[in-house]
Structures are given as C-alpha cells and as structure tokens.
Amino acid sequence: MIPLTLTQLTAAVRGDLRLSGSDTPDTVVSGAVDTDSRLIEPGGIFVAKPGETTDGHRFVDAALRRGAAVALVERPVEEAITQIVVPDAVSALADLAREVVARVRERGDLRIVGITGSNGKTTTKNMLARILEGEGETVAPRASFNNAVGAPLTMLRVTEDTRFLVSEFGASGPGEIARLAGLVSPDIGVVLMVGMAHAGGFGGIEATFAAKSELVRAIRPGGLAVLNADDPRVSAMAPIAAEGDVSVRWFGRGPDAHVRATDVEVTAAGTRAELEIDGQAVPLHLQVLGEHHVMNALAAIAAATALGVDPRDAVARVETLEIAERWRMQPLGSERVRILNDAYNASPDSMAAALRTLAQITRPGERTVAVLGAMSELGEYAGEEHDRIGLLAVRLGIQRIVVVGAEARRMFLEAVSQGSWDGEAVFFPDADAAYDYLLTELREGDRVLVKSSNAAGLRFLGDRLGESFS
C-alpha cells in the first residue's frame, strides 16, 4: 500500500484511532493489507473481518506476532497494537481502497481496467495482465479475487509506480458490481458474456444482464467499453455506454468487430486463429486449450491495444500464457492418459465449452472421458441445465460419462435416457468412489475432462488423477 499516516488512514476508513506503544497520529504506515493473519508481513495492516465460521478478531494476536502495525477492528481488542475501530470492517476495506486508488490516480498515469462476465473473467484478467506487464508495473487479482473483499485487497496493492490496475468483478447479486467498480471508476470496462452462471442468485438471465451492465455504467465519462459483439445481451449494453459518454470497442468473430478472430482451430497442442486487429492481420497460437479462450484473448487484446500496446506485442505476450489458471483447463497426467482439470468453476456455458474442447482435441483412436459434477448457483434452472449438459455430452459422442454427486445426478439420467445406457454413463455418489472406478477404467489414449463447480470439489479429484497417471 502507498504510505499513509495513521491520521490519513483513520480518516479514509472513518474510524476511531486508538494508539499503542510509540505510535503517534503522524506515524506512517505502508505495509500490505490483508484479512488473513497468516499472510501478514511486517508493517502490514490486518483487517479483523468477522466470517461465517470464525472471527478475525480472534487472530489479531497472530497478526501482531507476524509484524502487523495496525489492526482494523469492529470492536477494541486487548492486544498491544494500534487499532482503528470501524462499524464494518468490509466497508472500511472498500473505503481504504477507494482512497488509495484516488491518491495514486492524482499523482500519476494510472489506468484502470475492470472485467466482468458470466464466464472467462479470470482467464481474461490473466491474459490482460500478461500483456500489460510488458508496458509497466501492473497490479491484477490473485486467483479469483473479485468479491467484496478480494477486489479491494487487489486495489490496495497499487503503488505510486503502478501504471495499470486490472480489476475482476464478480457478483452474487444485483448491485455488487456497481459497488465494487464504483470504488475506482474504471477507464475501460470489459464485458465478456451474459450467461446462466449465478442465474439462480440473480433471478434469471435478464437480471444477470442488468447486473453485468453495472460495470458499463461505472466507467468514467470519456472512457471505453470493450464489448462482445457476438453476445446479443452484451451488445445491447452499447446504448448504456452512450448514455454515460463512453465509447465502444467491439471484439468477436463477426466482420464488424474491431478485434476479431477467424479460422479458429483447436488441437491438443493449443488453439490457433487468424486475428484482425483494427485492420491489421496477426496470427495467434494460444497454449491455453479451448476455442472459448479465443474470445477471452480477443477481449484482453482489445483492451490492451486501446491502452496503446502494439498489436503484435499484445499477441506475442498472450501466447506465452501456458494455462489460464490452476484448475482451469489445466493439463495433467501424461501423453498416455491426459487429464484436463477444469473444475474450479462451472456454468452451463463453460461446461458446454469444455465438453466441446474435449471432443475437438481427441484424435482417432483416443477415447473421450468426461468426469462431471454439479453446476452451482443455478436455482430453479438447475434441473433443466443439468439435463442439457447430459444431452450435449451424448450428442458430442463422449464415450465415457462419469457423473459425480447427487446434485449432478440428472446429467447421468439424461445421458442414459439419450442412449448412453450400456455402461457409457455411470454415476457415483462421491469423488472417492469415482476415483476408484477411474483408476481401473482409464487406459492408454484416454483424454479426460474433469469439470464441475468449485463446491463440488472435483478439482481435487482431477489433481489425484493427474498424479496417478503422470
């Protein structure tokens, strides 16, 4: 974090300063901010956030032992550490992020990009960060730090030398993206797609559209919206951009996109495409597997080139990305049995894309195996969406469909009803049972997709399989 005096820090979070030891109101604090006492470093600021299962106030002493200089608390604690008492620790974290980013923006040439969408946020964020790191100091979220805690923690990593801040905005309900993006008013907002992910929490696809469009409304006047020209719901956000004096830059596969892809080819070695970037032809060879990641690359390149990055430099840098993120189309195992562990998140769109990728990369003589778990947060749409995935797996000719967990059982039942009734589709109640089956079932030449939402826990099954067949 940038240096702030305790007086400035207290004012930013609208708290009550309680000094300890030799600290004075003019004492300067510049350490990193975190809600996890295990990650606190000397001089850091510990945010004692109450949680669902524990309370951060219990760990102030642990943070102090690791060298914390200040604790943001909702009630005074006994530990001998300077404290700032606030009504709500998460709100205070957001207030501090807003203040720090505003100060850095006033002093330099900081440019801020916000990214949202039902799928692809983390991959696009990683691609854009990889491109921008070649231009100057870039701050981007670790893993999927995109919620009310993760997004401000990322923002607080900016320094006076930071040129680019890439923020990823997720949401579990209406208004959340507006609150998070409103902390920084991005120069550029990227909207990837509007799909069924989290539709249960939003109340349907139209409510999801409204929530994702909150990012476009948060872009500062004179800024830029980078929109998916191939998604009708995303392209419908163009009038919203115009209302806010925000211009639009399109990415997609169609002829009208500023950044477009043609001749896409997916293989086990990666994904190739021909790009046209503002009329300039540039070939692309992604190491990241999956045709759907071409759209993520287009979005990242569209944002980067809008920030002045040379198109060929942007493409060359995104090509160096080997995987999108751990547990996202992560190749494991060996050439004998290749495991694709894509079980960090799952929605109907990403599940379908992963299954298509499995079918595309499998060569004659090899066998497709899909290990599938539940898709979370679909609410009333869960049943029909799991049915559709079971149907798609059969239509794609997936040769072994292994469904894991009671919440995913309808995928198995639909696959059986569509013709996979002679052992092609099997069901197991838990990952351990599925693992035991797969150890004996998998054979040389198998290409195995492991796909589920995070809550289903199949990412660890994917890791176990990858180790067993390495």
| pTM, 2 dp | 0.85
Dihedral sign (CA 141, 147, 151, 153): negative
- What integer pLDDT is reported at residue 163 of this predicted model? 97
The answer on whether 445 is annotated among ligand-binding residues is: no
Instruction: Give the architecture (CATH level 2) of 108-318.
Output: 3-Layer(aba) Sandwich (3.40)
> How are the residues of the chain apportioned to helix, strand and coil, as percentages rounded to the nearest 5?
40, 25, 40
Query: How far apart, in whole angstroms, are the C-alpha atoms of residue 295 and residue 276?
Result: 13
235 is in an annotated binding site: no
- Tell me the domain boundaries of the chain: 4-88, 108-318, 330-468
**Can you give the pLDDT at residue 199?**
56
What is the per-residue pLDDT for 422? 72
Annotated ligand binding at 118? The verdict is yes
HSE-up of residue 237 (Cα within 13 Å, Cβ side): 36
Query: At 244, is the secondary structure helix, strand, or coil?
Result: coil
Fold of 4-88: 3.40.1390
* 330-468 CATH pick, 3.40.1190.20, 3.40.50.150, 3.90.190.20, 3.40.50.720: 3.90.190.20
Q: Is 262 annotated as a binding residue?
A: no
Render each residue's pLDDT in the chain as its tens digit; 470 residues: 999 999 999 999 999 999 999 999 999 999 999 999 999 999 999 999 988 788 999 999 999 999 999 999 999 999 999 999 999 999 999 999 999 999 999 988 999 999 999 888 989 999 999 999 999 999 999 877 788 899 999 999 999 999 999 999 987 778 999 999 999 999 999 999 997 655 555 567 788 899 999 999 999 999 999 999 999 999 999 999 999 999 999 999 999 999 999 999 988 888 999 999 999 999 999 998 888 899 999 999 999 999 999 999 999 999 999 877 777 788 899 989 999 999 988 889 889 999 999 999 898 889 999 999 999 888 888 999 999 999 999 999 999 999 999 999 999 999 999 877 677 999 999 999 999 999 999 999 999 999 999 888 899 999 999 999 98
Phi, psi of 205, rounded to the nearest 5 degrees: -70, -35
Q: Is there a binding annotation on residue 122? A: yes
Does 420 show up as a binding residue in the annotation? no
Closest to 77 in 3D by CA, of 66, 63, 96, 91:
63
Which residues fall within 8 angstroms of residue 310, CB to CB, at 6 or more apart? none
Lookup result for tokens 């009504």: 87
Continuous segment of H or E residues that includes residue 167: strand 164-168
Give the model's pLDDT for residue 335. 86
Intrachain domains 4-88 and 330-468 with the same fold: no
Residue 120 in marked binding region = yes
